[in-house]
Chain A
């Protein structure tokens, strides 16, 4: 028996010298980026989907995770891709998008795609409660979480934890703050993908991120009907196509 659950496996596909690093979201697993990865691999890109620390195993492991583990995990994937690619794009969903934008300011990425990415912690109680969360988490370990995944089939096969560890929410808040501080320093091209029907990260977050970006080359692709998990929801083909087009365009500009 392995530590990692089914659907929590990191994945790799060797393609050309353009690499795509795929980063899943908070309490999620590599599985939520796998179909996007398969699409990008068919477009002949090299693809690597990481598993973030504490994810894809059991929820108790996430309680011990800290934001620096997730940041280091993204760098791990980035360094592995550097061994076989000349240009590396970082693509992330939700907290994976936060990590992707953070990576764009700290690692030599060619471009960033952030999907359903929060500009701040969506729950308004979290920022003021942040200093008390570690202590609070000793008695209140897990908070409930919802799903707004519209696609019935995707809902059945989704791999994630069914709650938010309160201790890890504190780390999430710290990470989002770090990302916000890094946005003006981000100079590489950025594509944001956001659904107006996202019930977890409201649509205005994409606009707030866009307004804070230091990147001159930035744009938003809007979806109308998907829930938060846009890589697996009813408009996933639009997401896949937008990601592929963006990467193709940047690579053409570089070479």
Chain B
């Protein structure tokens, strides 16, 4: 009997001395990053997909966690990967990208990839209206259900391992993490690739430019995909995302023989 939702376990594929740390998004699980993890491993990279604290177990666990717990999970993954790899590339999806930026502001890494990553809380009208009272509200309304949709390839939706609701208390944490990330983002110096879908209906496509503008990295690349919505690492554009990442890291962090 396992404590982690089946399919939501963290993963490690041992390859060469260049490692990719993969960070999943808010309320999701390592399953979200598994395609990238497996694909990058078959290209010779060591890949490690972390499970963020409070994720892939129960919503109650997530409500208790704070963003510093999530960042500590990222640090754990980095410490493990850094023990076996001389070079580390950090790849984060959505909130995982926020954590990646926050982490890379304090630790020098070889390259950084942010995917569908927000710069601020989504400009959803009701969310923005409730923003000042989210914390007390979360005591009365602990969770809000997730809408359906968001997929172009519905068959992929069935594989997904994630909570089916958002804990309100955790949105407060996401807000806090975003604020802290924006405070520290100027300390990010690693070569940065950002990938976003023009059709992202959850995190505005403009956020990619705001991230690109805020970092201090010498090398800044961005890539667009067109067909999927927010979940571009799982949906129909996932191969394009993989190709963009491979092209970027082949150039920035050439595999040593």
Contacts and interface: CB of A to CB of B under 8 A. Distances in A.
B9 interface: yes
A250 interface: no
B151 interface: no
B242 interface: no
Given A75-B2, A79-B9, A61 B69 contact: yes
Given A3-B72, A4-B76, A72-B4, A13 B83 contact: yes
Interface stretch (A62-70, A143-151, A214-222, A223-231): A62-70
A53 B69 contact: yes
Contact of B80 (A12, A57, A64, A79): A12
Nearest to A4: B75
Contacts of B69: 53, 61, 64
State which size class the interface on A falls in: 20 to 34
A57 B72 contact: yes
Interface stretch (B60-68, B142-150, B205-213): B60-68
A142 to B, nearest CB: 19
Contacts of A48: 80
Contacts of A51: 72, 76
Contacts of A66: 61, 64
A12 B72 contact: no
B100 interface: no
B24 interface: no
A61 B54 CA distance: 13
B75 A2 contact: yes
Contacts of A106: 1-3
B51 interface: yes
State which size class the interface on B falls in: 20 to 34
Interface string B105-120: 0110000000000000
B75 to A, nearest CB: 5
A61 B10 CA distance: 22
Contacts of A11: 79-80, 83
Contacts of A57: 68, 72
Interface of B: 1-4, 9-14, 48, 51, 53-54, 57-58, 61, 64-66, 68-69, 71-72, 75-76, 79-81, 83-84, 106-107
Given A13-B84, A14-B14, A68-B61, 14 more contacts: A1-B106, A3-B71, A4-B79, A9-B79, A11-B79, A53-B69, A57-B68, A64-B64, A76-B9, A79-B4, A80-B12, A83-B12, A106-B2, A107-B2
